[in-house]
Amino acid sequence: MTPSPIRLALVLTLCAAAPAFAAPPDAALTRALQRDLRLDANEAARYPQTERAAIAREQEARRRLGDAFAGSWLEIGSDGRYRQIVASTTPGMRIDGAEVRVVPHSLARLDAAKARLDTVAGRGRLDAAIHSWYVDPRTNRVVVSAEAGQIHRVRSFAATAGIDPRLVRYETSQGRPQAFNTIVGGERYNLPSGFCSVGFPVFAGYSRGYVTAGHCGGVGTAARGANNLSQGIFYGSTYPGSDFAWVYLTNPAWALRPWVNNHAGGTVTVLGATPAPIGAAICRSGATTGFRCGTVTATNVSANYGHGPVNGLVQSTACAGRGDSGGAFITPAGQAQGVTSGGMLPFGANDNCGVATPTTFHQPLQPILNAYGLTLLTNAQYSVPPAIQYIQCGGTNGSYACSVSYQSFAPSGESWAAPFYSSGSCSAGQWVTITATVSNAFGSDAKTIGFTCPVNGEEPM
């Protein structure tokens, strides 16, 4: 006789005690600066003021030096204290509180060279041996990092971009770059007490996030990655009745990927969301038991977890455990099915993977998408050029700074067309036209705006 689901259909979550003590942020910050930067206690304590002063001096240097400005940075002197360095292409310049060094190349010239590298890379022809590139004001060069012994590939990269080789410095990488902060189905995320698993990356317009189980958290619950980096909040959550939620990403450091972790060093690509029929093979991915497969045994199932019935579930023999809740169910052909809800869990056990024929329930995906107006991120959406939403600029007394807002699911980069860039100086009352281009491996998008350089005080653009 099958045991009653009232007794055995347990919600698969893992609860953990909250830490009993947390040090004040300022004390924790000071200790971290001493530990990681090897600062003495006095320098660590005054660092926030050092940072604020450095920001103000850089703004002053940009204003005073104009086109001669070549960057600014902090150095730790032999006395263990920070000092600010400002680089200029014009000799004889002075900036109060900073050391001015004369260099051959302006920051604008280096930024333009880096932007050309971005453009070449955005065409999808980048050699895998080249790992990264950036403007380094300290060496007054564009630094290109690549595998050892591959300087000829760096030269080819620069030549393709039409860059003067004197602007480029080659640096050997200590490893291969990998994306650390990605939203991938079946990976762990942390809650104020316990953890659950990511379902599928989703988006609604320019809002990004992922679906998961409703019993994992109510609206407003904070979610953090397995590395404890902030992700966002539960923007919608329904449980019981149904068991679904979506987490809205408030931290732009997280990138969406149309993948499900197979917990064996690879991923399953999400291609669509066609429901699997009864008898079909189905797999699920979660933070506790990894990647497990089984067979769909029933649809439109109602389960009683003790908090009220949850309806419309799909039942399968893919085993699961506490902490797998919210994780991705997907077919071997890449069709997203839903998120792990619960299952028949033997008394005293943390999972049902030791049962000969496990019973696990998942919440179908389509009702989640319908409830919150979400779109599933599939490989088709991922493999498209970026789309710029808007450019926003602001400024004060002859200087300006701009930012570009855009959507790109694939890794992307932005560049600003000469002679104007994302920030700089301009003559009061001057009409400035600025163009931003965003590129990824599948194409690019550009947008141009114009504004009047500020005359007196801060002025919207």
Catalytic residue numbers, as ranges: 215, 243, 325
DSSP string, 166-208: GGEEEEE-SS-----SEEEET-EEE-SSSEEE---EEEETTEE
Strand intervals (E) in 216-357: 222-225, 230-238, 244-249, 255-261, 267-269, 281-286, 290-304, 309-316, 328-330, 336-344
Collect all residues with Cβ–Cβ distance below 8 Å to 174 and sequence separation of at least 6.
Answer: none
- As a residue count, the chain comes to 461
Numbers of helices and strands, H then E, in the chain: 7, 31
* Cis geometry, peptide bond prior to residue 419 (ω within 30 degrees of 0): yes
φ and ψ at residue 191, rounded to 5 degrees: -120, 170
Q: Which of 206, 207, 258, 208 is nearest to 377 (CA)?
A: 258
What SS3 string covers 68-97?
HEEEEEEEECCCCCEEEEEEECCCCCCCCC
Contact 436, 404 (CB under 8 A): yes
Among 39, 17, 41, smallest CA distance to 27 is for 41
Place of tokens 């995906």: 365
How many Cβ atoms sit within 10 Å of the Cβ of residue 312? 16
Q: Is 8 left (phi over 0), alpha (psi -120 to 50) or beta?
A: alpha
3-class SS of residue 50: helix
> Which of 446, 437, 381 is CA-nearest to residue 204?
381
Between the alpha carbon of residue 47 and those of residues 27, 36, 78, 86, 96, the distances in Å are 13, 14, 17, 19, 19
361 strand-pairing partners: 315, 342
Backbone φ and ψ for 30, nearest 5 degrees, come out as -60, -45
